[in-house]
Amino acid sequence: MLATGEEKAEVIAKAVEGPVTSMISATALQLHPRYTVIVDKAAAAHLTQRKYYQWIFEHEPEWKPFRQPRIPLSGIGGSMG
């Protein structure tokens, strides 16, 4: 699941950390063994366990391919010479 923006924070928290319910269909994804959630900081704002999720991303070997150095936005579109 991919979500960005502050307006998604509440539903992301319910979908990831709340009980599985028919009221929020995305909660059913919790039952999938390879469920992956990708969010920006704004969308993750209501997650109560966000520090834990960040630790997992930074330390678990399966996430190593995704931990690439990031290019600062100021470095994009600079002069080429």
Chain centroid to CA 72? 19
Sequence-distant (≥ 6) Cβ neighbours of residue 53 within 8 angstroms = 44, 47
- The residue count of the chain comes to 81
Model pLDDT for residues 23-79, shown as the tens digit of each residue: 999 999 999 999 899 999 999 999 999 999 999 999 999 989 888 776 666 656 655
Cα separations (Å) of 46 from 5, 14, 28, 74, 77? 12, 9, 19, 29, 33
Cβ proximity of 43 and 78 under 8 Å: no
pLDDT at 46: 97
